[in-house]
Structure formats: C-alpha cells, structure tokens
C-alpha cells in the first residue's frame, strides 16, 4: 500500500553522479577510475544500512481512566493530563532519527475505548483536499499518522489499521496479510479529530477507538495487544519523505509499516 523510502542513483550526467542516501542526505562526486568511484559508493552502503530489531520490542503501558471524556486535540486539557506518553522519532528502516519531527503520542483507556493523541511538529505540510465525510484511501500518500492494533498473538497477520491526516481525514482498515486483504468496507465506529496550529507549526490527531472493534475478548489490566505507531511526513516522492516508526521494523524491499512480526506491545494497566 505504501512504498518504502529507498536510495536512488541517477545516471551520470556531465561526468557527475549524485547519490541520494536518504532525505536531506546526499553526496556528489566526479566519476573517476574504479578505486575512486568505490570511495564514493562506500558511504552510500553505510548510510543506507537498515536498522536491526532487538527483542523484546518496544512496549507502551497505558493507564485506565474511570470517566470517558469527550475527544479533543488539546494536549493541555484535563482529558490528557493522566495519559501516558511515548515518542515516534526513528526512521522505520534506517539507522536514523528525526529529532525535528519527534512526535509525542499520549494514550489512556476506559472501560469501553482506547484514546490516543499525536502531537506532530512540522516544517511544511503535504495534504490532500479535506473531505471528512468518508474513508480516504491513499491517505498515506500525504502527511498522516497511523496506528495498527491487533489482539491475536497466533494469527499475527490479522489486525486493524487506523490513519488520521492533519485535516482530520481518515481511513480504517481490517488487515489480513494472509489473504492480502486491506478491507476498507470494515467500519470501526471510532471517533477522530485533526487540527493544525499554523503559528506553532504543530498538527494534532486524536482518536477514540472502541475496544470491541479490535478485540472480542474483555480488556482488563494486564491485557496486551500487538501494536505499532507511525508517522509519514514530507513533500515529494517516497524517496524524499520521512517514514517514521515507534517500533522500527528494519525491513528492506517491502512496506516498512506492515511488518507484524516486528510490532511492539500495548499494555493496558490500572
């Protein structure tokens, strides 16, 4: 569904070659005999090396809140004062951090719902025309946050996907990788909001997901779901955009998001 950021080496022109290592990283050099050319290629291999997943993967413990507040995108509101926080700052695939885009994710749960708030600093926005009236397929081709949730620890290729754009546009999908199925007809009944603070250069996305839409099993303190959190940012083709993961998946030549064997764990606490 989404293509992975990858390096590209254009054909030589005017006896020059430009190597795109990663967004905002490049090396230019003059074509010379093979030894010198090898000197230019070597940095590409090092900078473009994939990261490595270590186990156990990341975990995010979220507290229980007795009352179910109205969903909002204000991080200073009482609704989010008791939430736990984690951050998305790492590239999904490469050994890179994106400190200028470091995204805070807050979360808590009630007896019926999981709440999440994404706080996303930005430089420039890349948006589709806003239309909040229905699912927006291909939302991932512009700025977006995503979160994947699944309760099945045996059939790990079955889970739910949720996405929110700065404009509040959204899509929710039932994923079954065994069948290569990304079912947009599935409707979760979730609530979501988006807001852009142009002055502060921060955009927000908030979600309220019914627990029963992810799991048929009762959720209680100690329940664990498989999960990952994502942000996609930037203008241009995928080779120039930022694909960020809470739990880096560290795969090459495939979609860096749909890697359930490398998901983290969401833990429901008291």
- pLDDT tens column, 11-70: 333 333 333 344 444 444 434 333 333 334 334 445 578 999 999 999 999 999 999 999
Dist. CA 121–CA 88, nearest whole Å:
11
The residues facing 8 across adjacent strands are 20
Looking at the predicted structure, is the pLDDT value of residue 266 above 50?
yes
Q: Which residues lie across from 62 on neighbouring strands?
A: 268
Separation CA 251–CA 255 (nearest Å): 8
CB atoms under 10 Å from CB of 77, counted, come to 12
Domain residue extents for the chain: 59-268
Average pLDDT over residues 202-208: 98
Residue 63 neighbours by CB under 8 Å, 6+ apart = 82, 83, 84, 108, 109, 269, 270
CA 175 to chain centre: 16
**In the predicted model, is pLDDT for residue 1 greater than 50?**
no
Fold (CATH) for 59-268: Immunoglobulin-like (2.60.40)
Q: Kindly state the average pLDDT of the residues 140-145.
A: 97
Region 139-162: mean pLDDT is: 98
Residue among 235, 159, 259, 158 nearest 246 (CA): 259
Average pLDDT of the chain?
A: 87
pLDDT of residue 46: 52
- Decide: 20 and 8 in contact? Cβ < 8 Å: yes
Is the per-residue pLDDT at 233 higher than 80? yes
Phi, psi (5° rounding) for residue 80? -100, 5
Q: What digits encode the pLDDT tens for the residues 65-80?
A: 999 999 999 999 999 9
Q: In which band, very low, low, confident or very high, does the pLDDT at 7 lie, cut at 50, 70 and 90?
A: very low
pTM of the model: 0.83
Residues forming a β-bridge with 144: 232
Q: DSSP letter string over 30-45?
A: E--SHHHHHHHHHHHH
Is a pLDDT exceeding 90 seen at residue 10? no
5-37 as b/e: b if 16+ CB within 10 A: bebeeeeeeeeebebbbbbeeeeeeeeeeeeee
Instruction: Give the pLDDT score at 117.
Output: 99
Beta bridge pairs of residue 224 = 267
The candidate with the shortest Cα–Cα distance to 113, out of 219, 5, 252, 251, is 219
pLDDT of 110 > 90? The answer is yes
């Amino acid at each position: 569904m989404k293509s992975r950021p990858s390096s590209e080496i254009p054909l030589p022109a005017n006896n020059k070659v430009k190597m795109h290592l990663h967004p905002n990283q490049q090396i230019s050099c003059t074509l010379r005999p093979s030894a010198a050319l090898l000197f230019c290629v070597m940095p590409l291999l090092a900078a473009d090396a994939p990261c490595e997943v270590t186990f156990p993967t990341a975990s995010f413990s979220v507290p229980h809140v007795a009352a179910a507040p109205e969903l909002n995108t204000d991080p200073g509101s009482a609704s989010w004062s008791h939430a736990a926080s984690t951050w998305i700052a790492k590239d999904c695939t490469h050994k890179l951090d994106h400190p200028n885009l470091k995204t805070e994710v807050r979360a808590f749960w009630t007896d019926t719902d999981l709440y999440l708030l994404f706080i996303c600093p930005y430089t420039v926005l890349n948006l589709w025309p806003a239309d909040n009236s229905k699912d927006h397929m291909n939302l991932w081709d512009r700025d977006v946050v995503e979160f994947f949730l699944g309760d099945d620890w045996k059939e790990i290729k079955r889970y739910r996907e949720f996405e929110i754009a700065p404009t509040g546009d959204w899509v929710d999908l039932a994923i079954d990788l065994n069948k290569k199925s990304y079912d947009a007809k599935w409707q979760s009944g979730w609530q979501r909001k988006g807001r852009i603070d142009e002055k502060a250069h921060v955009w927000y996305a908030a979600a309220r997901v019914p627990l029963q839409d992810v799991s048929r099993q009762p959720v209680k303190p100690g329940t664990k779901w498989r999960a990952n959190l994502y942000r996609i940012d930037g203008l241009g083709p995928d080779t120039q955009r930022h694909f960020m993961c809470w739990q880096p998946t560290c795969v090459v030549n495939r979609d860096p998001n749909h890697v359930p064997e490398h998901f983290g764990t969401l833990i429901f606490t008291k």
